[in-house]
Structure formats: structure tokens, C-alpha cells
Structure 1
Amino acid sequence: MRERAARALGDQGNPAYVPALGAIVQDRDEKVRMTVVRALIRLGSPASLPPLALAVRDGIPEIRYLALDGIINFYLPGYVETGFGGSFRSVTSRVETLFSDVDTLVVDPDVRVDDGVTRILRQAITGAPDMNTRARAARALGILRVKAAVPDLLEAAFSNQVDLIAEVLRAFQKIHDPSVGPRITFLLSYPQKNIQQAAATTLGLLRTESAIPDLRQTVENNDDIDVRVAALDALAFMPQNQTAPVFLKYLADREKRMRAAAALGLGRLKDAQYLGQLEQTRQRERDGGVRLALAFALTAQGRLEYLDEIVSSLSSRVRRGEARPYLIELARERPVREALYPQLYSRDPEIRQNLCLVLAASGDTVSISQLDNLLRDRDAAVAQEASRAIRILRSRGM
């Protein structure tokens, strides 16, 4: 009876029923509790957060998992999808590549997470009764970009649980606190290769320059190609004159991912002496991903004629995951932003929509006036992304 009533309240879609559901989130019957959590997720009200936080401490693992997903879903609608018959599943598989295997599922930078939710998630990382719940809590903190949880995540990084460490590293990639880097460099020597790879990626994204010697050693000596690629990617995020010979060495490597990472590193050096070699390499390169990396490198060196190729790649499902972060990085420079504005009127809605995402991350006050023209775009998805971009830019005081 209580289970049926809870389901009916959730199906009503009326947030006014949240207090009634919250009152039985700790019901003695686990089926009732599970139904209540599902109903709270459906209602999606701010008032749902306290009872969902209580459910994170439930004695049944599946209820804890769903409650964690429900909290994420409140801040990132669509994270949990409902299927026929009221079934639920989280959509954590929606990831794009960012030069390496970086999960980019995160809330917008202007999202503020409830203090009570933050407290429960932090406690779950080190206090939950099973490692799966701890790993899911770490995942949630990363997706929600909770910087206050860095000390708890660091403690978890020293555990001996591979899945937990992997989620902690992904969380660090999203929270982006540079102070973390020196304290996780030791994970480059972790026994499991997937942790070595994730550690290298994280150190690169955090620009941990103190790890450069360790990363160079990993590139040269590790016997796993995926780890070596991640280490070279990491070096490419923080290139120095002393690492230029490393990039030159791998610019002609047999492994295409090594060639791409080498091109990125030389491009970010912004040293004109490498322009000729980058152009010559591009002329003979046949792989599309490496050519795109070379286009990025040449654009970063001031050759804006290569920008159109990167923009065009936004319409490609295969290349979009590389092209968009390239443009986000390049658009931090005013000449690149100015060159992108005319592309906001591209005939391709995929290009217009993705450029809104680029400018949300790297735009300025001028970008707001340019994006304003897309608020009335004939494509609803484009207009929605333009509105989101303007909101994010204004939240930064622009």
C-alpha cells in the first residue's frame, strides 16, 4: 500500500508531495524506500535533496546508488533517465575524449551545490560501508565540482581500491585544483596501468610542472602504450623548452596518438622555430585526428587560416570531441574569438551550437553581444546553448 502510494505521488509530478515522500524515506520496507527515492528523483525539487541525502546512508546498496545518482540528476538533469515501467538508469557512459580519455560530464560552472549535500557526499567517500558507494560519491563530487571535498578525495587516493582511486582521479580532473598535482604524482608508479594512465592525464590537466621529470620517464620507459600516450599528452599541456626535443622525437612516431600529442606540445610552445616542421609534418600526415592536432598547433602559432578546419570538425561526431576542446583553448586569445564570431552564423546548427559551448568557456563581454543574436535562432538547441553561454559568462561578472 505505501509503495503504491509513493509511486503515485511521484507520477503526479507535483513538488508539493515531497514532504510526504521525505517522511517515509526511512521506511522499514526496502521496496517502499526504493520507490520513494525514485519518486523524489522524478519530482526533481530542491526539497528532494535532504531526503535523497538521507537515502545515501541507507542499508541497501542499490538504494544508496540510486540516491547518489538522484542528487547528481537534480543538478544535471538527464543524468538519470527513466524507462518503461518506471525503470531507472544513470547515463554515465556519455563521455567525450579530451585529447585523452577524460570524462567531461560536469555541471555548469555557475552551479552552487547545497551544503548539506556536500557534507553527506564527503562523509560517504571515507565512511560508506562499501567501496562501490565510496566510488560513486567520488564520482558525484567530481561531476558537481565540489572543491571543498579535495581533502577527502586525497585521503581516498591513498586507498588500495583501484575503482575508488580511478573515480578520485576523474574527480580531480573536473574540480581542477592545481594544488592536488604534487600529492598524486606517486600514482604514476601504481601497479595497475589504468591508474598510471589516469594519473598522467590528471597531472597534465592540472599543469603539475613538478611532475615533468616523472612524466618524461614514463614516456620513455613505460611498456604500456596507453600510459605512454597519456604521459606525452600531459607533457603537451605544460610544454617547456626542455621538453621540445621530446615532442620533436615523437612527431614522426608510428603511433598516431603520440604524433598528435607531440603536435599539441609544439603548438603550445608558441615558438616560431617549429612552424616549418609542423607545416611539413601536416603535408605528409594522413590521419584525420593527427591533422586536426596539427591544425590546432599551427593556429596556436598564429596561423589562423587553419582555424576553419577545426570549426568544420564540430559537425563531425568522430572529431567533435577533439575539435571543441581545441577551440575552447584557442578562444582564450582575442584574435581567435574575433575569427570565430562570423562562424556563429554558419548554416550548420551543430557548428553554431558547439561554438556557443566554446564561448561559454572562453568568451568575454564582447562574446555576450555576439551570442545574443542566437537567442532567436531557428534551431531551438542553438538558442538554448546561447542562453546558457550568456548566463555562464554573466555569472563571471562579464
Structure 2
Amino acid sequence: MTAFSLEPGHVTWCEELRTLAAGRLRPLAERGEPGRVNRPLLAELGALGLPARLFTSGALDLCLMRESLAYSCTEAETALALQGLGAHPVHAHGTEPQRARWLPRVADGSAVAAFALTEPDAGSDAAALSLRAARDTGADAGAEGPEAGASPAPLTAAPDGTSAWRLTGEKCWISNAPEADFYTVFARTTPGAGARGVTAFLVPADRPGLTGTPLDMLSPHPIGALAFDAVPVTAADVLGVPDRGFRVAMDTLNLFRPSVGAFAVGMAQAALDAALAHTGARDAFGGKLRDLQAVSHQVAEMALRTEAARLMVYAAATAYDTGAPDVPKRAAMAKLLATETAQYVVDRAVQLHGARALRRGHLLEHLYREVRAPRVYEGASEVQRGIIAKELYRTQQPTEEAGA
């Protein structure tokens, strides 16, 4: 791991995390069931105090945690990250009662959080959400929300004190669903208003009308679909400001996108180290594999790209922690470069190992399955390129075109 821009204490802490992940977390991960929430693993993460650090540390610490855990135990890394993703909107935008009820349980691993943004027809285009929050005011319960351009109805409880809104629709590809204990849910409160008509809600899993189905995915962590059948929510469930939920989502993603890059860097480093060990020990063609220039140059390229991605991740995290104005661009750059790099490095490591790396249970077989999803979730690579271009043009100084 590079020491560039890191204090000695950071380097020591990362080494400790790698050791803890290998010794205490990996055995629990190996006993877990793929595609299911591993609650013993979450409890152990809580005992180590790692989820609590999600709410007290900055973006750089989050990246260092994710990179270090990913190097030794991707399951532990993902379990921690999903807790943070689902609970960060509560920490950053929730009310005191919301935080008091849920954050201590997230911290000790007794409650599972989930971030419910994506829908079957609204993945990368998050502003196109269609999960509907219909106004519920007793006699006119179930009525449509306000027309586009109209002021949203106030989020007040119905006369009987029950619900202010009813959520109807679907969410899909939601990590930790359907086993989470609560969901940060983004729903449309003002039809036709695009990103300005979305509200974030904290929805406990036991709300009537909320059901879920697990999905069998390539990634080993739990992913599912959610169905909302007139699920009641009140003003007390709102996270942030009504009709400004898109900002809650983007604030969360700007923090977590660089750390997705850190997850990718951890996997890339593990694959690189495996390739170094294998090519340094493997006898072939009268020498070691590393003696072949075609091999050594591939390893050099893997190391080059991994280090470049790591530095960009650290730079994006530092920009977030210091309140820099270019966080969206840096976050997108970090996620894009790191996830694409990890895909390349893991693939090259598999190639250098040959068939043994494809055997079920091999480290690289595991990484090969894990490394694909980060290029898609929390904004696909194509979306990151769009964000980068948008930010570049937004900040471009006006110039007089040639010949004008």
C-alpha cells in the first residue's frame, strides 16, 4: 500500500484491518450463505467498531476501510459498505428520533440497512423514478399527488393520525433486500417534476404492504426486489426535505462512489499480489514465469494501473473531506478509473495463473465474480463519464469562439 498522502497511523491501521479481516472476518464470511445477509459477520464488524466509524470518520477513512477489508475479505467489505450506504442518509439527513432508533443498531450490527433507489425502469436515470407516493388524507386516501409544477402537498399526518402518503410501485436490484430491517426509499411525490419531485423516506421493513423477493445474481452478496402495495409513510419518515430527496441520494453517492473505487483497488491489489507470487514461483520454459518479458511487463502494467487508481481514490476522498467544489467530478473519476482498473487487473491475473484460477474456491475465481458488479452499481461506467463531461463543461470559462 502506498504511503503517499497517508499519515503513518493510517498505514498501521490499514495493516491491522487486513489482519483482522483475514483472521476474524473471513472465517465468518466462509460460513455464510451466498446471497443471504450474514448477521454473525455484521455482529463481528460491530464488535470491532467498524460500522460506528462510518458515522464519525470522513471519506478517506471510509476508503481505507473498504480497501483494506476488500484485500482480505470482500464479503466483510461489502457487508460494511452496504450498512453505510443504507444508513448514511439517516445519519446525514435524519431527525433525532430516526437517528436514535436506527444508528446504534447499525453500529452494533443488530440492524441491517438498505439503500433503495433503483427501479426496473430507472437505474442509471435516477431522476426517472416512478415509485409513487400518493397523498393519503383519510377520505381521499389514494388520491394522486399534485400536478406537475404545483406546490407539493404538505407532509402532514392524516386526520386519524395514520399515514400521510402511500407508496406504490417497485424497487429492483436492491442490496440487502429483502432481508434488511429498514430501507432508505426514494419515491416520487410530485409527478412530472423530474429530480425535483422525489422524496426520501425511512421505511422499516415491517410496514404493511412491503414485500420482497431475493434475486439470484452473479455477486455473492444479497440482492433483491421490493414491492410496495400502498405502504403507509408519515412526515416522521421523511429524510431531509420533501421533494428534495434526489439531493439526499446524490450526497450519499458522492461520498460512496470514491469508496467503491477503494473496494476495487483492494481487489486489484489482492489480484496483483497473487500474480506476483505465482509468476515468481512457477517454473516454465526453463526458468520462472517472471523471467518472460511478456509476463513481467503485464505485471508492471497491472501495478501501474492499480497505483494510479489508488491515488485518484485518495484524492477524491480528500476533496470530499475538505469540501472541495469539484467533488462530483472527482468522485466519478475515482469510481470509473478504479473499477475499470480492477476488472483489467483481475482478468490479467487469471490469465497469468491459467486454468487453476478458474477452479471454484480459488481467490481469483472469487475476485472474478466480485469485480464485475462495481462497474454497474452506484452509476455505471458510462454514467460516470457523463458526470465527468457535464462537470467539465459546467466549470469551463466562457471564451470567444474562433471566427466569431
TM-score, with structure 1 as normaliser: 0.23
Query: Relative to total residues, which structure has the larger helix share, 1 or 2?
Result: 1
* Structure that is richer in strand per residue: 2
